[in-house]
Amino acid sequence: MPDTENSPNHVAIIMDGNGRWAQMRHRPRLMGHHAGARRVQEVVRACPDLGVKYLTIFAFSTENWKRTQTEVAGLMKLFKRYIRREAASLLEEGVRVRFIGDRVRLEPALVDLMDGLELLTADNDKVHLTIALNYGGRDEVARAAKRLAYDVSMGKLDPKSICDETFPKYLDTHVLPDPDLVIRTSGEARISNFLLWQSAYAEYEFIDTLWPDFTKDIFAEVVGRFGTRERRFGAVTV
C-alpha cells in the first residue's frame, strides 16, 4: 500500500490529447475519445489505494460545441454508452457519481442516464467521481450569479450578507471540497475554463502524456509528487 497521508483529497483532471493520439495513428478523432474513455475507468479504480477521495474529470466543455457535428454527436453517443456500460461496476465499486455543467443543452436521453446514474450511486462513499459535461467555469459562475440574484429578489438572501463563503453554495460543485491538485495531460499549459473559482489554491501539474496513454502508474506518480509540495495559502512558513 502506498503512503497516502500526504495524498490530495480531491484531484481534478483535464483529459486532453485524445484527438492528437488518434491523428498520430491516422485514425478518426473519435477513436481517440474511445481510447480515452477506457483510461477513465483505470484512473477511477486507482483512487482508493492512492488515498484520493474525490476525482473530477473534464469530459466536455461549453466551448467544445464548436467542434464538427460528427465529433460532437460521437462524443454524446460515447457518454451515453459509457454510462450504460459502466453503471453496474461503478455501483459495485462504491463510486458515487455526480455531473456538473449545464444540462439544458444536452439531449434528454443523455440527461436521463446522468440522473439515473446519480441516483443509482447516491449511497456510495468510497470514491466521489464528478464528471464535468457541458461545463465551463465562467458559465457556472454566471448561472450561480443568476440563482443568487433570484434569491435576493425573493427576499431569501440579504445582499449585505454575501461573502466568499456564500457564493460557492450556488456553484454546481457546492457539495464538493475544492480540488487540491489539477492535472492537465497533452502538454498544454492552460486551464481552458475549468473550475475557475474552485482552483484558486490548487496545485497544477501539466504533463506531456496524451490522455489515452495516461496509465494508473503515471497517475500514481503525479499524485505522489503532490505530497512533496509545500502549500502556503498566502501565509509564511515558519
Closest CA to 90 of 50, 117, 53, 51: 117
- Closer to ligand IPE by CB, 78 or 162: give it: 78
Residue 40 CA to residue 194 CA, distance in Å, equals 18
Q: Residue 60 Cβ, how far from ligand IPE at the closest point, in Å?
A: 5
Question: Which residue among 14, 16, 222, 223 contacts Mg ion (CB under 5 A)?
Answer: 16
Contacts by residues 22-29 (CB-CB < 8 Å, ≥ 24 positions apart):
29/71
Q: Is 188 in the site for ligand IPE (CB under 6 A)?
A: yes
- Residue 79 contact partner, candidates Mg ion, ligand IPE, none, CB within 5 to 8 A by sort of partner: none
Exactly one of 3, 9, 64, 178 is catalytic; name it: 64
Residue 237 is placed in which grid cell?
Answer: 512558513
Residue 15 as a binder of ligand IPE (CB under 6 A): the answer is yes
204 grid coordinates = 497544477
Check residue 80 for interaction with ligand IPE (CB under 6 A): no
* Residue (127 or 210) nearer to ligand IPE, CB: 210
> Alpha-carbon distance 52 to 7, whole Å?
7
- Is 3 part of the annotated catalytic residue set? no
Q: N- to C-terminal Cα distance for the chain?
A: 32
Torsion sign across C-alpha atoms 182, 188, 191, 193: negative
In whole angstroms, how close is the CB of 120 to Mg ion at the nearest point?
A: 30
Concerning whether 16 is annotated as a catalytic residue, the answer is yes
Q: How far is the CB of 16 from Mg ion (least distance, A)?
A: 4
Binding site for ligand IPE (CB under 6 A): 14-20, 58-61, 64, 75, 186, 188, 190, 192
